[in-house]
Amino acid sequence: MTAKPLVGIITNETVGFNGRQIAHSTGKRYVDSVMQFAGVMPILIPTCITTQDVGALLDHLDGIVLTGGRANVEPQHYGGAAFPADEPIDPDRDKIVLDLIPACVKRQMPIFGICRGIQEINVSFGGSLFYRVHQQAGMDDHRMPQNEDAAVEEIFRPRHPIHFTKNSQLRDLVDAETFVVNSLHGQGIKDLAPGLTVDAYSDDRVIEAISIDDYQSFGIGIQWHAEFHPERAENLLNKRLFEEFGKACLAYQRGHNES
């Protein structure tokens, strides 16, 4: 029996046990969604790997998932203003992901960017980010509820519509002009990089989905969290995205095995 496609899920550097332990981790929902709806075998990619290791790693993978994370992409990577001193950062993730994405693109490997992941794709192609979307004139607050006691269901509930562009790949997945998604981000795309196309906007014109131009595989980034309950009818688009990503990973695996 042919093995399932092997997909790498990028991790974040997190601190636990009151600062006594640093870990490489990601949310269980990403792993569960990739397994259940993409039908692949996931492995976690620690951000401590070196640039020299990227090629050897990708030789064994059939796709990449760029997850969300508490830390934002640091501004020196896109010519932005310096962060405040208390801003969470993850320098190792910044470095390895900005090396990883071009290497994946060169191979035409499936790439699925979620929340921070869409921002990383844009930055890797030469685009820029808003530090805080809600501080921009005419733009809404896209952050999670600021109430510390907010329940998980409230944090991840669908909050606003997105509008698909004319030739959006996402429109075809749900046969609709709009869809309602959740929203948990502070940063957002400012200047779209060359080589990328917008697939969806929010009402206030925040870029909500992008795709890589002329890509031979799945190359999509989304600003919302598709990993939260893709099985629910209200989240059909999220389920379909994972399914299409899985199909692309299987096609890549087959092509890789035949070459």
Domains of the chain: 6-258 (3.40.50.880)
How confident is the model over 144-196, as pLDDT tens digits?
Answer: 998 888 999 999 999 999 999 999 999 999 999 999 999 999 999 999 999 99
State residue 22's pLDDT score: 79
Do the Cβ atoms of 90 and 68 come closer than 8 Å? Answer: no
Question: Across residues 191-213, what is the average pLDDT?
Answer: 98
Name which residue leads in pLDDT, 77 or 146: 77
| Given the residues 13, 104, 185, 225, the one annotated as active site | 225
| Given the residues 115, 120, 185, 249, the one annotated as active site | 115
State residue 68's pLDDT score: 96
Averaged pLDDT of the chain: 94
| Given the residues 13, 120, 227, 244, the one annotated as active site | 227
State residue 149's pLDDT score: 87
36 has pLDDT over 80: yes
Q: Which element (helix H / strand E) includes 14? A: strand 12-16
Q: How far is CA 221 from the centre of its chain?
A: 5
The answer to whether residue 115 is catalytic is yes
pLDDT band at 40 (very low <50, low <70, confident <90, very high): very high
The answer to whether residue 163 is catalytic is no
pLDDT band at 16 (very low <50, low <70, confident <90, very high): low
The answer to whether residue 227 is catalytic is yes
